[in-house]
Chains A and B, each alone.
Chain A
Amino acid sequence: MMPIWTKSGEKHAVTLLKVQDCHVLRYVSKEESGGKTAKLLVGGKNLSPFSKPESAHEIFKEAGVPRKQKVTTFNVTDDAIIKPGTPLYAAHFRPGQFVDVTAKTIGKGFQGVVKRWGFKGQPASHGQTKTHRRPGAISTNKAGKVYRGKKMPGKMGNIYRTSFGLKVWRINTKHDIIYVNGSVPGHTNCLVKVRDSKLPTYKDCNKNPPFPTFFADGDEELPEDLFDEEIFQFTDPSVTFA
């Protein structure tokens, strides 16, 4: 995470996400998948092919791509279908867009009710016998049972969670890095899924994105760094309020 300053001098915290060896693996049509839209299977981050059996490599061999650590699905409309085997780059996103980022949260193991659900517990003194971080009462007398979904101790973390509506501030095309506003679930160097935001406020925010994706062998020559309009770039002199 890094600080970023706007032209008016405000500071925002920014997370760096690297697009590492992402390839489209397979196209699943609407009828095949049984959903409302077609799906594209995308894999990221190369791994050694020797730790898995040959049967697991079929999908990668079809696309002509080394074995990937993670395979995710994206629901895509029919005009955004991409041929399996095309690499995906960070330039697929542009500064000023809004994104949703999904990842597995940091696993905390088996945790008690105070940390997991934010219960207040009991006082430290004034006669409490061996009861400081316990849940207390779990149901009423009239119910006669404990309701399903009652908040109790258990395994915390290591589940998929999404941060919605994060602004993309900057894109580095040389190293394939996306600078995304705010924090993102997951530990450092974990695998993360980035999608266009589904929030209704940002529905019209993506003006002329590279559609269906940014192709590296095309004619477009992008500069090394793409900045949002409001970012203070370090090549400019210091900010003054006139």
Chain B
Amino acid sequence: MAASSDRNPPPFPAAEDPEPGLVDPADGDSDEGEDIFVSKTNPVSVSRGVSQPDRGAEDPPDLFSEEEEASSTTAKSNGVHSDDDSDLFAEAHMELNTDKPGSSAKKELSASSGPRSTSTSTQSPAAMQPTSLEQLEEEEAKDSFDVDVAITNPEKVGDGMNAYVAYKVSTRTSLTMFRSKTFSVRRRFSDFLGLYEKLSVKQSLHGCIIPLPPEKSVVGMTKVKVGMDDPSSVEFVERRRAALERYLQRVVCHPSLLQDADVREFLERDDLPRALNTQALSGAGFLKMINKASDAVNKMTIKMNESDTWFEDKFQEVEAEEQQLRKLHAVVDSLVNHRKDLCGNTAVFAKSMAMLGNSEDNTALSRALSQLAEVEDKMEQLHQEQAASDFFIFAELLSDYIRLLGAVRGCFDQRMRAWQRWQEAQSTLQKKREAEAKLLWANKPEKLQQAKEDITEWESRVTQYERDFDRIGMTVRKEVLRFESYGFGKHQYSGPSPCRGSLFMVSLYHGFLNFIWYRRFFVISQDFAVYRYFYRFIIVASCVEERRWRKDICL
């Protein structure tokens, strides 16, 4: 029935009325009305009473719409770019090296000390912690990024089972670390998986939340490869394109990931070496990986004494939310499966009706039954659309979120592991000291030198690991706050304390409006039209038949 391009959902409410407090994350670059993650450029915060100009329905064909400078206020900010911010970022422990300090939007990217800063500066975060948390939150609110990515033009390259779809990745930026202002490259799906692999190896050690790429789908891709141009494979490619765009936007949103050489290479380099061994990163593989990692951490013998309850609380929150979402996802999954079953059943029924109509000798009834078969065919199409929309609006949204939360959990685990390393180093140091004491007592000067060197080495290691641990702790805090504020998307829900739930809610709300308006209403009114048509037909046919039968039977 209707292909995705035919659909014309109403503009989102934010477009119709000036709505204080709700940003319209309407579709930007994608054709998909319901793909709300493909959003505009800056996360513009809207304070109450300010209406957001509608950038939804009247989207210019240009990939990137006007960037509006964030007039940032949050409900609890004091609107002041305090000096403390720069102090905070003087201690930022990430490898940052832009050439462009200065603008408020780039505060976070401003030059700072590297991870191995002097011990004095590393001590201050601990001291500053009570205030820095608030400042962290403020900083998050003022973030805006100067890199836009869009993914367009999926094209099938090659033939047969070796075919693949190449996407055009376009970047527009004003950061000088890139070679030019706008550029584009072609990438395929396995390139994205390769990027994730590289990032997770490197960055996870720092406690960052690495966004997860969309899942592999053998079924979907096989259809595309085989070359069918049917609407379902077109839709599949479109979905994947949108998911990849979301993923890439999350990656460039993240300030430290953006600095990564691999990311830059991904965006800029014309010819990327093929990422191999991406089989492991398919489907449920991601979640399995993360779950395995968590299990490994849980099995570690030395349990961490959580001095900072913030981490414990947050972790519980994340876990609880993930459980909730998993439950919802399971239910939605079963619903989608049943709908798919219904499609199959309706198709089979339609066929059996057609056969019956053919065998029927009474012409009117025969016609009626054949019509019924056609009606049921139409119903099957409707059911398919409904199933697809259920899937993509709810199931995908939920699983996307679950994966995100898994990534968040992953970074908590990283912190745990850092702590483990530190503790182990400390115990090793202790052992070395004991060994040295023994040697002193046994009076063996030649080995003593070795022992002293060992101790020095381990002392420095202990210090380093402790610093690592603190650093990761800070990063994790920052990441979680970022996540709570933005959820790795460029939309924002302004409220007294933005939370993950609000993002979910906004997406759900908009997705659902579209769902309900377009899908349900349309489907039901289609039901209606279809039945009405059949009803009229039946009435006419039965009148004719009745007359005939009465003539026959009244002997």
- Asked whether A and B interact, the reply is no
